[in-house]
């Protein structure tokens, strides 16, 4: 209840701190702009103006903040900034970050939730501390400031020692999650950060350093990064940085290198990141396969699973966990692994798994799937499974993300940065990796060399097939024009195409705000058929194979009730000409490629409908790219 009452619950805020070679404000604003994709509703910046803080905050876009910043004089070479995403009321300039402490000595930006903020606030108020916002973040800041003041006055500590002691003291009192950065008027040459549950990374530059929630923030300025772990505190100057634990034990840092270029995180000539990422899928799929086939090409291989084939042979069951689109990829993995490797697979929403305490067989292998590697529900589910002693592997796109660093091994997607909130290339690559895993597990069990070779060959053809599907973009844009005015859509698919129908419906909901439902085609007659009318178009997947005729019969049922049908098929001339209002033809291929292939027209349809409806495709309302609070 406390949490529900809070006015500054943060979903996936962006944090950027900079120090010191150049003027800070343009660099910080550029960093915030790069973090816009995470979803936010207000932005703020704390700069130095002579010896004082100057804090500017604006609701709406980073652009509003930039215009405001231009009106002021500030040439300081350090600062902190933030994009805020509020879930409960309070989208206001006051509630935006950074906050300033009641004695004007400290400024802080926070990502996360302080659960016991109300109690701490009452105690501080009783001691004379005043508050200007209703946020939990300001409570944490004022607690640090209160302890800092005491350290200076009572213990006569130097400012740096006092601040770090106060920070540690405050963090030991709070319950919840945080990724914070702060500055202090007494220490203009430092920015300080700490994390527990919310990501924080140091960007190590040339006489300039960064502290940010995401490497994208400084991707144009340095590729050298140090990922902080939970329970670590970083002290960063323009030329150096130190990391310690909460108990003040020094940590020797590992400097990693970002593998992608700044252009990968820019839109180029595309009107939206989503469209760019849809068209990047042949390359994303290609990258997911690089170096991952055996020399004899009869199986897949993975360098990072950290589990010997002998041990894998003991696995009786696999549990896949994920959220949103990644959960749909889990369902694809279930279908493929059960079919080809004959290993029973279960799929659970990560958020449900964490609190369900479901019984797991001792020989269960757990997999988490997450594009960002930061989704808190998935991270906590992973931690819960690890706590119980299960080995957890991950399929993750973001190298250095918390999920990737904490799991016991896994597969990196190498899809490049995905900026559009609606996941596209990351999803298709997750499906493709699931297919490669099914081949790997199958070849370890009963699949023959010849069958393995055939599947490996089929998988390698995927990028070309996806390029062919992308060539349907103009046709799909026309279809979108015709149907964009509808407010309800049904998506139908059977067997492995059922999760693709779910994903198609989710994409449309996410970016077009259209009510859409995904169902297994045969289930339509058990309820959803009541929705069929000329006002409710159905996107029906009908691929060749055992159930092709049954899928056609389902389409007939819709047509008989005057429901418009957009069919997606690989049947060529075998698809009856007049059965559907629109027919999107895809190339015929092995089933292992169906998930990414059929996703293409689904993604394009959602994209073009959203554009027709003038929706903000890359920053859909109410959504965040990655959700880091429960």
Q: Which residues bind ligand G6P (CB under 6 A)?
A: 323-326, 370-372, 375, 378, 421, 423, 623-627
Q: Give every CB contact of residue 360 below 8 A, 6+ residues apart in sequence.
A: 317, 319, 366, 385, 388, 390
Q: What is the C-alpha separation between 552 and 575, in angstroms, rounded?
A: 8
Nearest residue to ligand G6P, by Cβ distance, number only: 324
Q: How far apart are the first and last CA of the chain?
A: 14
625 as an active site residue: the answer is yes
CB of 412 to ligand G6P, least distance (A): 13
Q: Which helix (H) or strand (E) holds 376?
A: helix 376-387
CB of 114 to ligand G6P, least distance (A): 22
Distance of CA 162 to the CA centre of its chain: 37
The three-point CA angle 571-577-579 to 5° equals 95
542: closest CA among 489, 483, 461, 601?
A: 601
Q: What is the C-alpha separation between 288 and 279, in angstroms, rounded?
A: 15
Which entry of 8, 13, 184, 330 is annotated as an active-site residue?
Answer: 13
Tell me whether residue 443 or residue 625 sits nearer to ligand G6P (CB atom): 625
Tell me whether residue 31 or residue 373 sits nearer to ligand G6P (CB atom): 373
Tell me whether residue 326 or residue 605 sits nearer to ligand G6P (CB atom): 326
Tell me whether residue 65 or residue 627 sits nearer to ligand G6P (CB atom): 627
Q: Phi then psi for 81, rounded to 5 degrees? A: -150, 170
Q: What is the C-alpha separation between 113 and 13, in angstroms, rounded?
A: 11
Answer whether 490's CB lies under 8 Å from 532's CB. yes
CB of 369 to ligand G6P, least distance (A): 7
CB of 120 to ligand G6P, least distance (A): 30
CB of 368 to ligand G6P, least distance (A): 8
- What's the length of the chain? 630
CB of 611 to ligand G6P, least distance (A): 18
Burial of 156 (0-12, 13-18, 19+ CB in 10 A): exposed
Structure tokens at 50: 């002579």
Tell me whether residue 187 or residue 431 sits nearer to ligand G6P (CB atom): 431
Q: Please give the torsion angle defined by the CA atoms of residues 575, 577, 579 and 580, in that order, rounded to the nearest 10 degrees.
A: 90
Tell me whether residue 12 or residue 571 sits nearer to ligand G6P (CB atom): 12
Cis preceding-peptide flag for 288 (omega within 30 of 0): no
CB of 143 to ligand G6P, least distance (A): 31
Tell me whether residue 213 or residue 626 sits nearer to ligand G6P (CB atom): 626
Which entry of 105, 121, 276, 625 is annotated as an active-site residue?
Answer: 625
601: closest CA among 590, 587, 622?
A: 587
Q: Which residues pair with 257 in a beta bridge?
A: 224
Structure tokens at 320: 């896949």
> Which positions are catalytic?
13, 625
């Amino acid at each position: 209840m406390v949490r529900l009452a809070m006015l500054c619950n943060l979903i996936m805020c962006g944090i950027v701190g900079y120090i010191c070679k150049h003027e800070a404000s343009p660099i910080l604003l550029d960093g915030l702009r790069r973090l816009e994709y995470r979803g936010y509703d207000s932005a703020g910046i704390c700069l130095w103006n002579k010896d004082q803080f100057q804090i500017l905050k604006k609701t709406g876009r980073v652009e509003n903040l930039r215009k405001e910043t231009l009106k002021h004089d500030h040439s300081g070479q350090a600062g902190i900034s933030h994009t805020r995403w509020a879930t409960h009321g309070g989208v206001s300039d006051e509630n935006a970050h950074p906050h300033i402490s009641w004695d004007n000595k400290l400024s802080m930006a926070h990502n996360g939730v302080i659960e016991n903020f109300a109690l701490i606030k009452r105690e501080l108020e009783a001691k004379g501390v005043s508050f200007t916002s209703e946020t939990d973040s300001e409570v944490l800041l004022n607690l640090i400031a209160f302890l800092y003041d005491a350290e200076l006055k009572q213990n006569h500590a130097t400012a740096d020692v006092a601040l770090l002691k106060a920070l540690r003291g405050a963090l030991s009192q709070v319950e919840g999650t945080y990724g914070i950065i702060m500055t202090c008027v007494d220490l203009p040459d430092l920015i300080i950060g700490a994390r527990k549950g919310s990501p924080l990374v140091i960007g190590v530059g040339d006489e300039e350093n960064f502290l940010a929630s995401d490497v994208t923030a400084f991707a144009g300025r340095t590729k050298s990064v140090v990922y902080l772990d939970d329970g670590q505190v970083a002290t960063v100057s323009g030329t150096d940085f130190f990391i310690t634990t909460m108990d003040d034990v020094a940590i020797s840092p590992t400097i990693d290198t970002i593998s992608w270029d700044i252009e990968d995180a820019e839109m180029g000539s595309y009107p939206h990141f989503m469209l760019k990422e849809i068209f990047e899928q042949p390359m994303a799929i290609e990258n997911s396969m690089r170096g991952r086939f055996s020399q004899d090409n009869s199986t897949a291989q993975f360098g990072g699973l950290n589990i010997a084939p002998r041990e894998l042979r003991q696995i009786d069951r696999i549990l896949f966990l994920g959220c949103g689109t990644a959960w749909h990829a889990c369902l694809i993995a279930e279908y493929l692994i059960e079919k080809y490797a004959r290993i029973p697979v279960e799929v659970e929403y990560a958020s449900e798994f964490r609190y369900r305490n479901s019984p797991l067989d001792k020989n269960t292998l757990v997999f988490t799937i997450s594009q960002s590697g930061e989704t808190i529900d998935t991270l906590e589910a992973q931690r819960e499974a690890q706590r119980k002693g299960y080995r957890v592997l991950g399929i993750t796109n973001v190298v250095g993300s918390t999920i990737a660093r904490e799991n016991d091994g896994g597969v990196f997607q190498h899809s490049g940065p995905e900026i559009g909130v609606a996941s596209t290339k990351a999803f298709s690559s997750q499906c493709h990796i699931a297919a490669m895993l099914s081949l790997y597990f199958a070849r370890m069990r009963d699949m023959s060399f010849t069958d393995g070779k055939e599947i490996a060959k089929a998988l390698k053809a995927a990028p070309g097939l996806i390029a062919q599907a992308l060539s349907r973009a103009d046709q799909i844009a026309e279809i979108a024009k015709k149907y964009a005015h509808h407010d309800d859509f049904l998506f139908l698919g059977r067997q492995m195409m059922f999760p693709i129908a779910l994903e198609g419906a989710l994409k449309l909901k996410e970016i077009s705000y259209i009510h859409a439902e995904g169902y297994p085609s045969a289930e339509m007659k058990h309820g959803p058929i009541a929705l069929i009318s000329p006002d409710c178009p159905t996107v029906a997947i009908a691929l060749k194979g055992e159930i092709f005729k049954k899928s056609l019969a389902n389409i007939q049922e819709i047509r008989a009730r005057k429901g418009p049908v957009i069919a997606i098929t690989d049947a060529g001339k075998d698809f009856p000409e007049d059965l559907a209002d629109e027919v999107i033809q895809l190339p015929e291929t092995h089933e292992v490629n169906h998930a990414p292939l059929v996703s293409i027209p689904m993604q394009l349809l959602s994209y073009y409908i959203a554009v027709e409806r003038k929706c903000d495709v890359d920053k859909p309302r109410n959504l965040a790219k990655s959700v880091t609070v429960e």
